[in-house]
A and B are shown apart, each in its own frame.
Chain A
Amino acid sequence: MTILTLVARLPLVTTELDALLRQVARRDVDAFATFYDRTRARVFGMVTRVLRDPGYSEETTQEVYLQVWRTAASYDPSAGSPLAWLLTLAHRRAVDRVRSEQAAGQRESRYGAANVDLPSDQVADSVILRDERRQVADCLDSLTDAQRECIQLAYYDGLTYVQVSERLSANLATIKSRMRDAIRGLRRCLGVA
């Protein structure tokens, strides 16, 4: 499976999701259900990876899609793809939840086992997603360990870049450029426009 297949498929996904979002903005429940089905595994998986708690993850995923239902009209195609819009708002909610749990002092017990890999039978069973998953995993592997660690701490563990720099005892400029280089590497490897 080459990168070209992935890149060629994305515009199709975007067109379909874009059309569905327009219908959702007009309160089309069927379109909403289809939009959910097309994107649920990506959203729930990312949220679960950040929150590491099935109950919190379900709650947060539900909030994310209710937000989609209520604010689909605010999606602006000129600002990015529907998938990027969706995952941005999902990630923001997940990170907010992690930080509020952390502030409440519950993180240590609930999140003690960091970096747990997901059991493979939970992984989304869609063939397309499986292909993409492999490609993305290859691209993640192409990063340096330091870059991958930065993405893990910032994106999946919900740390701020200042906290990442403290955790890794590296200065802020180094962390910022490491994050930027990690994204550039992924972007190039995945062929994201």
Chain B
Amino acid sequence: MTEPNDPDLTALATPYALNAVTEAERADIERRVAAAPSEVAQAFADEVRAVRETMAVVSAATAVEPPDQLRDRLLTEVNNDPVRVLRPRIKRWQTAVLAAAAALVIGLGALGVGLALRPAPTPSTAEQVFAAPDVRTVSGEIPTGGTATVVFSRDENAGVLVMNNVAPPQPGTVYQMWLVDDEGPRSAGTMDAKAVAPSTTAVLPDLGDSQTLAFTVEPGAGSAEPTTPIFAKLSLV
């Protein structure tokens, strides 16, 4: 029951912040806060914050040193943990995409190493992007089906595009990617029917000041500039 003015809501802030609610109550409270007028939501958030800060200080009263082996176990786990650094905005489902993209790129890298019969002298562009402190991921649905994901780093001035389950272009055409900045679009490569299915990656080596990655359908092997309307785009801002 969501009232326009939810007088009981603020009174629940303390039990909520103390985790003294059931999962169902927690979900209900969060729904009501989301629906509440902003001043009510703000009062709720202020109270929650005050409770949490207070209990953080109170934790001094119950402090107990953990056994040393806990530290050892933890550092061993952390040193072996394969989970990648993710920026705050990245949603959980994108984590899976990113992990899949990383696995794919690492797989391709290993194949390249195998073929060349020597270790790569420097990390690949993709490896540098994934290791960059400012790595970010944007993802979007392609209107004709499938998803496109770009993992990119402004520090590295590069990105990795991953296309999953994208329908192949019509015979005689290719998908062309464009990095768009204030000067307009410049080509970032093409994908033909063979390259698209079922998933593929492409390195975007020079992001420059581009704000958008755009996709068009181009005839033959591609064009110098877009000749058809953009059918999908991802914001890189």
Digitize A7-42: 1 where CB-to-B-CB distance is under 8 Å, 0 elsewhere.
000100000000000000111010011001100111
A155 touches B53 (CB 8 A): no
User: Chain A's interface: helix, strand, loop or mixed, by majority?
Assistant: helix
B14 touches A133 (CB 8 A): no
Which residues of chain A come closer than 8 Å to B133, judged between CB atoms?
26
Stretch at the interface among B56-64, B191-199, B217-225, B228-236: B56-64
Please measure, in the bound complex, the distance between the C-alpha atom of A160 and the C-alpha atom of B14, giving whole angstroms: 11
Q: Which residue of chain A lies nearest to B84 when distances are taken between CB atoms in the complex?
A: A27
Q: Which residue of chain B lies nearest to A39 when distances are taken between CB atoms in the complex?
A: B59
A124 touches B63 (CB 8 A): yes
B81 touches A66 (CB 8 A): yes
Please measure, in the bound complex, the distance between the C-alpha atom of A137 and the C-alpha atom of B58, giving whole angstroms: 8
The 8 Å CB contact of B60, one of A58, A132, A162, is A132
Q: What is the total number of residues of chain A having a CB less than 8 Å from a CB of chain B?
A: 75
User: Chain B's interface: helix, strand, loop or mixed, by majority?
Assistant: helix
A136 touches B78 (CB 8 A): no
Which residues of chain B come closer than 8 Å to A45, judged between CB atoms?
59, 62-64
Digitize A173-193: 1 where CB-to-B-CB distance is under 8 Å, 0 elsewhere.
100110110010011001011
Tell me whether A129 is interfacial, beta carbon within 8 Å.
yes
Min C-beta distance of B34 to chain A, whole Å: 16
Please measure, in the bound complex, the distance between the C-alpha atom of A179 and the C-alpha atom of B21, giving whole angstroms: 13
The 8 Å CB contact of B11, one of A10, A155, A177, is A177
Q: What is the total number of residues of chain B having a CB less than 8 Å from a CB of chain A?
A: 47
Q: How many residue-residue contacts, CB under 8 A, span A and B?
A: 176
Stretch at the interface among B69-77, B119-127, B163-171, B176-184: B69-77
B74 touches A129 (CB 8 A): no
Tell me whether B86 is interfacial, beta carbon within 8 Å.
yes
Q: Which residue of chain B lies nearest to A74 when distances are taken between CB atoms in the complex?
A: B88
Min C-beta distance of A105 to chain B, whole Å: 18
Which residues of chain A come closer than 8 Å to B81, judged between CB atoms?
66, 69-70
Which residues of chain B come closer than 8 Å to A44, judged between CB atoms?
63-66, 70
A180 touches B57 (CB 8 A): no
Q: Which residue of chain A lies nearest to B86 when distances are taken between CB atoms in the complex?
A: A73
Which residues of chain A come closer than 8 Å to B75, judged between CB atoms?
29, 32-33
B57 touches A190 (CB 8 A): yes
Tell me whether A114 is interfacial, beta carbon within 8 Å.
no
A136 touches B60 (CB 8 A): yes
16 contacts between A and B (CB under 8 A): A29-B75, A37-B71, A45-B63, A57-B66, A61-B66, A62-B70, A83-B56, A88-B56, A91-B19, A95-B19, A122-B64, A129-B63, A151-B18, A160-B15, A187-B50, A192-B54
Report, nearest first, the 5 A-B pairs whose CB atoms are least far apart: A132-B60, A45-B64, A44-B66, A154-B20, A124-B63
CB within 8 Å of A: which residues of B? 11-15, 17-22, 25, 47, 49-67, 70-71, 73-75, 77-79, 81, 83, 85-88, 133
